Amino acid sequence: MIGFRKVIRNRIEYRFDPLTHEQSRINPDRAKRLKQAESDIRLKEIIRESRATCVFCPEQIEEKTPPFPEAICKGGRIKIGETVIFPNLNPFGENHAVGTLSEGHYLDLDEFSVDLLRDNLLASKDYILSVYGHDREALWPIWVWNYMPPSAGSIMHPHVQILVEREPVPQQARLLEKGKGYFELNKKRYWEDLVAEERRLDERYVSGNDHLSVIASFAPRGFNEIQFIFRESSLAHLDEEEIDEFAHGLTRALRGYKAIGVGSFNLITYSGPVDKKLDYYSLHTKLFSRPYPKGVYTSDTGPMERGYDVWVIDTVPEGLANSMKPFFD
């Protein structure tokens, strides 16, 4: 069964993920520490300067981005609404594509509409299924959103990245293994039990229905980490209703982020395979904040995270859940 294990040592909470047992350390006092960072954001200037040479803006995207081969997409690019999906010029994985989210060069967190997100997710699903149709070994889809430079986004224009790989990435493989072991022992999905227990405790539970639940992570890997947990096991299996609900949930979470001062984030997905529905696994995504865009800023990851796989966090999940709930009411 689900166990939320934490130990307090010297006022620091050592928390352990209920499934993987990975360690997070939470000390909200670290958020108050002196940070010798530049306070002048210059954000409007940076946006204006980057707009002039942006290859993702409508007037340049057809000329400056490459097309898919006809076997993947007739016409070279997948288009739904304002989304345009095309191959990544500098890939870091198999079948690596980019999908713009809007024609606008910059959108603030509360300016992403349900339509923009829904169209992008639908187009991304089309790409995933097209790649799989062309290569039956390309089973493992990834949908990643890096918003603003502190998230490792190299281009300001809102966009996501979609990959379809032949093997699950290491963390995904770990989750599959742990999830299967939990199912064999308890005859239920870990993520179903997790949502049920979080709803019962009502400390980190934010919102939910039969298709999708939203919680703040008990042992987060990132600041202000929110999980979206689906009934389905794969991105490729989401129907239009489920995609629409996810798009609505994301817009609410982004408005909540804006309200608590977030200016950059990552969204990562942990998806099951395209070719089958797994009875022991649930598709889930993690949304977490990154440092606010500044000329110089204090990074939110250091040697503990990079070298030891220990996540040092200064945001408390229970407080985050309370901050988010009004946006999901």
Residues 230-272 pLDDT 10s: 999 999 999 999 999 999 999 999 999 999 999 999 999 999 9
In a domain, 51, yes or no: yes
Instruction: List the CATH number of the domain containing 309.
Output: 3.30.428.10
Average pLDDT over residues 189-217: 97
Q: How many domains does the chain have?
A: 1
Cα separations in angstroms, 266 against 33, 75, 150: 24, 31, 9
Please check whether residue 124 is in contact with residue 117, taking contact to mean a CB–CB distance below 8 angstroms.
Answer: no
- Tell me what pLDDT residue 41 has: 65
In a domain, 32, yes or no: no
- Is the model's pTM score more than 0.75? yes
| Strands across the sheet containing 12-16 | 5-9, 12-16, 23-26, 311-313
In a domain, 22, yes or no: no
Residue whose token pair is 């042992």: 219
In a domain, 249, yes or no: yes
pLDDT tens digits for 147-199? 998 898 889 999 999 999 999 999 999 999 999 999 999 999 999 999 999 99
In a domain, 8, yes or no: no
In a domain, 12, yes or no: no
The three-state secondary structure class of 79 is strand
Give all strands (DSSP E) within 64-166, no chain letters.
78-80, 83-87, 97-100, 140-147, 159-165
- Tell me what pLDDT residue 121 has: 98
In a domain, 7, yes or no: no
- Tell me what pLDDT residue 34 has: 60
- Tell me what pLDDT residue 40 has: 59
Token pair listed for 27: 């000390």
By residue range, what is the domain housing residue 226? 43-328
Q: Given pLDDT bands bounded at 50, 70 and 90, which one contains residue 131? A: very high
Q: Given pLDDT bands bounded at 50, 70 and 90, which one contains residue 310? A: confident
> For residues 224 and 25, what is the distance between their CA atoms, to the nearest angstrom?
14
In a domain, 89, yes or no: yes
> For residues 194 and 192, what is the distance between their CA atoms, to the nearest angstrom?
5
Does the pLDDT at position 37 exceed 70?
Answer: no
Average pLDDT over residues 119-127: 98
